[in-house]
Amino acid sequence: MKPTRTISSYVLLIGVLGLSIVGGVLAYQIYAATVKSQTTAEQTAAIKPIDGTIDQTVIDNLKKRTVYSDAQMTTAIEVTPTMEATSEAVTTASETTSSGTIQQ
C-alpha cells in the first residue's frame, strides 16, 4: 500500500508556492521602479540638448576673477563710504523726509 501525504505537507507546499509568488511580484515591482524613467512625456519633449559652445568672453571673465583663500574669506570686511555728503544730497534727503517717504 502506498503511503498518503498528510494535510500538513500540502499546506506547507501551498504556503511555499504562495510566498514565492509574492516574492517574485515584489522583486519585479522593485526592479520596475528602479528602471522606470522619472520624466514624463511632456518633460521629455521639453528637454533640449546642451549646447557645447562656450563664448570666449565668458572664459576671459573667468580668468579675470580674483581668487580668495579661506583665510581671506573669514576676515571681517570693513565698509568704507565712497560718496561724500554734498549739499545737493542733503537738500534732496530733507525734501524727501518732509514728504514722509523716507525716515532716518
DSSP 79: P
DSSP 100: T
Q: Is the pLDDT of residue 3 over 70?
A: yes
pTM of the full predicted structure?
Answer: 0.36
Question: What letters, b where the CB count within 10 A reaches 16 and e where it falls short, cover 66-89?
Answer: eeeeeeeeeeeeeeeeeeeeeeee
The string of pLDDT tens digits covering residues 89-103 is 555 555 544 545 454
The amino acid at 91: T
The string of pLDDT tens digits covering residues 49-94 is 887 788 899 899 999 998 888 888 888 777 787 776 565 555 555 5
Sequence-distant (≥ 6) Cβ neighbours of residue 83 within 8 angstroms: 89
